[in-house]
Every structure is written in structure tokens, then in C-alpha cells.
Structure 1
Amino acid sequence: MLTTTTHHRRCLFEDPMRARVACQIIHSNSTWGDTRLLAWVLMPDHWHGLLQLRDEPLARVMNRFKGNVTRALHASCLMDQRIWDRGFHDHALRADEDVRQAARYIVANPIRAGFAQSALDYPYWNAVWLDPEQPS
């Protein structure tokens, strides 16, 4: 489980155009390399994700993700300043922790923050269990 915040916790992704550009990058397989993105939510001032790592180091995966979002926002002329704070917070799930419960916790973030009554009311999230093309 990962969390990374925007620079100075600015609410950059309140803007729907910025959020859509970021979501395109999040949905791109090239963003994640050999890592599997299981669930994620983009909040106005941060991003939460649930990743299944393979061979690539976590720091490299997160640097690529943040760099790809930054380049896309700069290229689209929607931002010309720093997007992310340095670093990220991570929590490795133990063998006895339920991966789907962790995913539910992540995608319920907008509900806890008061942005939505239901996850279906919030547009900037996804989980592999919703995609019939993805194995569980």
C-alpha cells in the first residue's frame, strides 16, 4: 500500500482536466513496468495505490509513476510547477492481511473524506477486480 502527496499538499487534482490526465497515466501499463497495480484512488492532494511488486524496486516504480504524471501534466500545459512531494509512504501487507480489504480501504478514501456517498460517485479510482480482462 502506497501514498504519495502533491507538493505542499496543494489540491492540484481538484481540477478535472488535471485529474483526467493523471488517470490516463495511472491506467497506462507502461507506467508500472512489471509491477501490477491492483487498486488506486487519486485524491485532490494525494494518490493511494496497492501494488504487487515483482522484480523492479519500489522506488524505481514510484519515481516512474510520479515522473510520468509530471511530464504529462507539463506537456498538456495544465501545470508548469512541481507536482509531487519527495518520497512516499509504504506499508507492506503481511501474509495474514486481506488484499481485497486493503483495496476496499483505498477506494473508500473519497467517502471518508466526504467527497462521495459511494465509491461509484467518485470518478478517479479503479481496482483490478472490476476489470473482466484482469485475472484476480
Structure 2
Amino acid sequence: MSLKTNYKNRLPHLAPPGATFFVTFRLGDSLPQKVIKELLTSLEITIQRLKREKPSQFKTQIYNERKKHFKQFEHQLDDKPYGNCYLREPLIAQIVLDKLHELDGSYYDLIAYCIMPNHVHVVIDTSIQLGDEHKILLEKVPDNYVQLHDIMQRIKGSTSFEANQLLDRHGPFWAKDSYDHYVRDEQELINIIQYIILNPVKAGLVQEWESYPYTYVKEGFELGG
């Protein structure tokens, strides 16, 4: 298996095996189609322009543009929560929470998450799959390594089925696409986790992040100053 695997949905993603990932996935009705189309079109136009104008700096530039895109995307999700916001229901949020913890220790090391009314933030470290039973790093990526997009399918597939049963509804529960970003260093990881845990505070759901029932940070993880 390649040490870096590219896959595509609407846009290209880079998912190095063993990396730590920040993933945001949302409910299927969490954004109007018009807004989604505008955001994606804007990013795609920018990507094509950067390819033409700055090919030597493309990797760095696209990294920055994806971060800008995510901020716009996130603002739309938080500003005026759209759709049915099923994740406000404690039983539905619990389904997602349970699944995130169920896969912890096998496919990834669960570092942090926050379940918002219409979307979920999660940070996972997939390097657990690159060690043997004694947690010694393997010399090559194993053939049974589970890629990020497959992990997300496991999370979204089963939780979609359970949530739909509980809500007595049919059809897609989650949006097809997820936003994912591989974390490049420790400081970026700290910044991302601080961003995640403050999400409910900034949205006016609680005054202190510790009060929100669907926020998690791995025990012993230092958030820094």
C-alpha cells in the first residue's frame, strides 16, 4: 500500500496512513443545496486558478484554501443551524457517541469530539493500525489497514441506520461528503482541539465547554495555555 493514498469524492483528499485526522461530518439537511453548491464551486475555481498560476506552490496554497473553505463551511453550519438538527435529541447524539467509542482502540485512538446539533467534529489518530500486538511500529503499512474513508463509512453507515430506526424515517441521514484534514504537528492538534471544544460555547449552547454533554477530550491530553 502506498504511504500516501489519494481518494476523491467531490474534491481530492490526502489521507496518509497512520496520520491524525480532524474530520467534520454533517446531517444531510444541514445546509441548503444552494449554499453547498456556492461553496464547492468557489473552492473548485480557486483550485484550478492556483494550478495555472502557482503550480510550484500548489500544495501549500491548496492547504490554505481548504482551511479557508472549511471556515466558511463551518460558519454556515453554526450561524443559524439549518434543517432538523436531529443531533439535538439526546438519544440520537448517544448513538453517534457510542459508535465513536466503539471503534476506539481498533481503527483509531479517539482524541476528541464534539457533537453539535447538525454536525460532528472528531479527531482520531490512526497510527494504532501501524503497530503490532506489542505496539511496535511495523516496517510497512499492513494489507488490512483501514483507510479514513472506510472508517467514516463504518461510523456513518451504522449510526444512520440506528438513527433512522429511532426517528421512524427513511433516506440518507448524513451528507455524503465529510471534511477531513490530516494534522501536521502537535501545535496544530492543540489548536484544533481547542476549536472543537469551544464550538458549543461560541454557538451559545453552554457557557463553559465542560458543561456540554457531547464534548470529549482524551484523558491526560494537555491542551496547553
Corresponding residue of 2:184:
94
Equivalent pairs counted in the alignment come to: 129
Aligned to 1:36: 109
User: 1:50 and 2:71 equivalent?
Assistant: no
1:74 aligns with 2:147: no
Give 1:39 deviation, angstroms: 0.3
**What CA distance in whole angstroms lies between the structure 1 residues aligned with 2:202 and 2:106?**
31
What's the offset of the Cα at 1:105? Answer: 1.4
**Structure with greater proportional helix content:** 2
SS in 2 for 1:117: coil
Match for residue 134 of structure 1? Answer: none
The CA distance in 1 between the partners of 2:124 and 2:168, in whole Å, is 27
Q: Deviations over 1:6-48 (max 9, x none)?
A: 0110311111221122222222136x74212210010010000
Q: 1:114 to 1:72 in 2, by over 3 A?
A: same
Q: Would you say 1:7 and 2:28 are equivalent positions?
A: yes
Question: Is the 1:42–1:124 Cα contact (8 Å) retained in structure 2?
Answer: yes
**TM-score normalised over the length of structure 2:** 0.52
2:91 pairs, out of 17, 26, 33, with 17
CA displacement at 1:102 relative to structure 2: 1.9
- The runs of 4+ residues in structure 1 deviating greater than 6 Å are none
**Cα contact 1:33–1:61 (8 A) shared by 2:** no
Query: Residues 48-74 of structure 1, C-alpha deviation per residue, up to 9 Å, x if partnerless?
Result: 011112342110011111012112223
Question: C-alpha displacement at 1:122, in angstroms?
Answer: 0.9
**2:164 and 2:173 in contact (8 A); partners too:** no
Q: Structure 2: how far apart are the matches of 1:96 and 1:128?
A: 15
Q: Determine which structure has more spread, i.e. the larger CA radius of gyration.
A: 2
Contact 1:6 1:83 in 2 (8 A): yes
2:203 alignment partner in structure 1: 113
SS state of the match for residue 120, structure 2?
strand
SS of match in other structure, 2:122: strand
Q: Cα RMSD (Å) of the superposition?
A: 2.1
Give the alignment's TM-score, normalised by structure 1. Answer: 0.82
